[in-house]
Chain A
Amino acid sequence: MEFVSDLWLGASTAFLPMNLVYCFVGVLLGTAIGVLPGLGPTATIAMLLPMTFELQPVSALIMLAGIFYGAQYGGSTTAILINLPGESSSVVTAIDGYQMARKGRAGAALATAALGSFFAGTVSTLLLAVAAPPLAEIALSFGPAEYFSLMILGLVASVALASGSLLKAFAMIVFGLALGLVGTDVETGAARYTFGIPELYDGLNFVAVSMGIFGICEILRNLESESERTVGVKRVSGLMLAKDDLKRIVAPVLRGTALGSILGVLPGGGAMLSSFAAYALEKRVSSNRAEFGKGAIEGIAAPESANNAGAQTSFIPMLTLGIPGNPVMALMVGAMIIQGITPGPNVISSQPALFWGMIVSMWIGNLMLVVLNLPLIGLWVRLLTVPYSMLFPAIIVFCCIGAYSINNNIFDVLVMAGFSIVGFALSKMRFEPAPLLLGFILGPMLEENLRRAMLIGQGNPSIFVTSPLSLVLLLIAVGLLALVLSPRIRKTREEAFVE
């Protein structure tokens, strides 16, 4: 009955009125700031970090965790409403979410995101409570070779993000991979495509690129067709989910939760992959395949669940091993060190109140998030009824400030402007931006892990097939590639026949 007493300890910490308040404040601030374009979880936490210095360690961490998933949820909101993914994991949410919003179903899309996230958060928090240490072992078993194979699998899956031509999707992935090259080469330290600009040494910033290619570019497209369509979005109908919708999202939410929980544990970009993977999987197995890319509710339910499940389980490496898996966790570790707690493998036994308190508060935070956001949906949706001629200048201004706030540098604003031109040109040629962004995210990880694996293996590539885990991942990738290619080939043949 140790588990029950542990949970009791956690509950008695998390339910302290003070901690409940900090949890709520964190979730509220996170959501409020996260909905501003360009301010994703990392930026939001970094901005609010100093506020927590004066708090008790447990309260500080509870509040930071609240900010984290609040901001993540806020990011999905902008992705759905104005096609502006504020972070990598909401890129796929934007694909079908924004299409739903344009059809006047923004309310249903947001409700799906909220409910899916809550369900996923509940399951993965429970998972965290019962199985954190064994799950941490999975994280340790992933070395460079395994990550490389996982990235290959991710790339193959990303082809599924595109709804149009396969060749064009490939072109966009490769273009994205190439853009990921910009910056200092991690293994040798050589500067690549930096043109002597110091700001480029750390590479192009994802948020700036994504705001340009998605958000600003979307405004351009809307303004071009302004005369035909008086408002950007048709009048909204039905804020909540219909019975039929609920039936459609159950299975995707379950699959997304499972996928996200597992991938989230992997610190080298697993959480990032989870929403892409969930979308790709759904597109394969769903009976509404044809609707994907045109506003399929499954295309929101699965990635949003995966994303939130991954967000919870991404705490596992930090809480059990003391190792931050992503920039957000690194910020958390920084906050803990300032508080005088250095996270390490002993943190569960040496700080049980902190560990269990955080786990229980995660669930409370998720509950608060859904309670807070379901009523807010009406407000967000009403935002879309504001005349577009007033909405778009505001979006542009917030994008500019958001881009600036990434590094407190105007350079990222220029990057955003540049990529809005690139995005506009690409959309004129009917290239889709989502595969490009995925390539951009995966590229550096793919290259680093490949070269790292070769270094460790003394230049012997057999490492990728002698590791069982890596071999399995590669085999799945090959199988998936065959699956992706075969029906397309058949389809083009059929089309050619018709002509």
Chain B
Amino acid sequence: MTFKRLVKIAGFAGLLMGAAFQPLSAEEYPSKSVTIIVPFAAGGNTDAFARLVGQELDKRFGQRFIIENKPGAGGNVGLGDLSRAKADGYTLGMGTVSSNAINQTLYKVLPYDKDKGFAPVSLVATLPNVLVVNPKLSVKTVPELIDLLKKEPGKHTYASSGVGTSIHLAGELFSTRAGVKMTHVSYKSSGQAIMDVVAGHVDMMFDNIPTAAEQVKAGKVLSLAVTSAGKADLLPETPTMASYFPGFEATSWHGLFAPPGTPPEIVEKVSKAVGEILREPAMRQKLEGMGAKPEGNTPAEFAKFIDVETKKWAETIKAAGVPLQ
């Protein structure tokens, strides 16, 4: 690959001049291996996205992009490390809707400066949630569900993978928009939660689409609506929640970040590479197979997107009266 060779030559040239020049210039980046901090455990969605993109960045830049899992406190532990890392582009991190748009409101104290935040690099992928109900509830559409919930307020339950997760807040957003009351039942993982919905112990749940779609296909649960702006490929028959409540969007998104103060040229360079990677057909196919939508955007667009998301979830948290941690 000529591009790769070019980068290598650039890197070599940079090494030669290294003594005389500041080693921070964007042209020679990356001249050594780069660490991507994933603030969640290995094997999850965020980890998978980071590894898929990291592998391609490896090939593109001819340097190793090492994934470092640093789970804890809903992503706060890993992001705390990212914020303290040297802002030279050699430490990057993954962030999600919960770690970078919800935790800002949900946690009273964060292990990093909330105002300085991070340097957004690029949105990587979004996963829609889908509202699934146990067939025993005998509702087939969103209006039917709303009727039932209005008739018996507070009597019906919805499961989530924890207080303040996108799955929980999708439920809260729905309650607010539809003006209904449901009882929230929280679990430690979305696996446990969907299990109890399938078994009928809990009535419904907004679940991440890939696993939920399989339960829908097997007829274990009914899907009423997806929470992305457009319909989801895995469940083409299911209407969007936005068709009932205009503007309703509650997706689980995953993006790449750099420590605050990272040189914009380096951020730009990585962002461009990520964008190109996400446009490759093989990568798109892989992500779509996981039920995710490949994204990719500029740092400025990503920053604006995060801003909108942070405000939306702050309002939802306040409206729903979710206690702050």
Contacts and interface: CB of A to CB of B under 8 A. Distances in A.
A334 B48 contact: yes
A342 B291 contact: yes
Contact of B47 (A189, A334, A407): A334
A322 B72 contact: no
B70 A408 contact: yes
Interface string B81-112: 00000000000000000000000001001010
A387 to B, nearest CB: 38
B163 A198 contact: no
A330 interface: yes
8 closest residue pairs by CB, A with B = A344-B214, A189-B163, A334-B43, A345-B218, A201-B73, A143-B201, A331-B43, A46-B42
A159 interface: no
B163 A346 contact: no
A350 to B, nearest CB: 9
B43 A49 contact: yes
Contacts of A344: 211, 213-215, 217-218
Interface in A288-337: 317, 321-325, 327, 329-331, 333-335, 337
Contacts of A186: 162-163, 186-188
Contacts of B69: 46, 407-408
Contacts, number: 164
A340 B290 contact: yes
Contacts of A287: none
B157 A455 contact: yes
Nearest to A406: B71
A466 interface: no
B199 A324 contact: no
Looking at chain A, what size class is its interface with the partner chain?
A: 35 or more
Interface string B169-194: 00000000000000101111101101
A330 B211 contact: no
Contact of A140 (B44, B195, B210, B291): B195
Main secondary structure of the interface of B (DSSP, over half): mixed
B155 interface: yes
Interface of A: 45-47, 49-50, 53, 139-144, 184, 186-191, 196, 198-199, 201-202, 267-268, 317, 321-325, 327, 329-331, 333-335, 337-338, 340, 342-347, 407-409, 448, 452, 455-456, 458
B30 interface: no
Given A143-B201, A201-B72, 20 more contacts: A46-B43, A144-B196, A184-B163, A186-B188, A196-B109, A198-B80, A199-B73, A267-B192, A322-B215, A324-B191, A327-B41, A329-B191, A330-B191, A334-B47, A335-B43, A337-B211, A338-B51, A345-B214, A448-B187, A456-B183
B199 A452 contact: no
Interface in B275-325: 286, 289-291, 322-323, 325
Contacts of B239: none
B323 A189 contact: yes
21 contacts: A46-B42, A49-B43, A186-B188, A189-B323, A190-B323, A198-B77, A198-B80, A198-B111, A199-B72, A202-B71, A267-B191, A322-B215, A329-B191, A338-B52, A340-B289, A342-B291, A344-B214, A344-B217, A345-B215, A346-B214, A452-B185
